[in-house]
Amino acid sequence: RRAQVEAAMRWLAEHDAAVLDERGNPGGWPSMVELVAGALFGAASVHVLDFHAREGVERSMTVPWPDLPALARMPVAVLVDGGTASAAESLAMLLSTTGRGLVVGARTAGAANPGAWFDAGGGVWAFVPTGMPIDPRTGAGWEGVGVPLDAEVDPAEAERVAIARLRAMR
């Protein structure tokens, strides 16, 4: 998928603004957040989050893209809704808390903490969180609360509102 992201970012660099549509995106891998976000921050590596688990804390950082400086200056909006979860929320949270992008739409799923099913015995299974991502700028996660919104609107109107806000920024 890296080659697809690279091609998309090179195409995007030829434009004036970006609208990332994460509505209905259930998430994915933190490494993809690091790659996509890295293009939007340019040459500097940015602290995405700290992942807290029993084994310790793992720091997530963006992957620098020094060869596409236009992307680092480009206005960005991300569209979200109740189906935006996990790693998709991580990207929206990063853009929000760094002030790098506008988050437009409806409350996200608030599904930050991964976990696993454990056999509690007697035919009972329990889902137990095994880690927790924390935003280094706020000291908080988005589990159960979702990502802060810059514009809370019906998800069907999110693209129109985001484009209007980006145009007003020019």
pLDDT tens-digit profile of 1-23?
889 999 999 999 999 999 999 99
pLDDT tens-digit profile of 66-85?
999 999 999 999 999 999 99
pTM for the whole structure: 0.93
| E strands, the chain, in order | 18-21, 47-53, 56-61, 76-80, 102-105, 115-121, 124-129, 131-134, 151-152
Query: And the tokens for 106?
Result: 């409806």
pLDDT for position 2: 87
Give the Cα separation of 71 and 95 in Å (integer): 13
CA angle 97/35/92 to nearest 5° reads 30
Give the Cα separation of 146 and 22 in Å (integer): 13
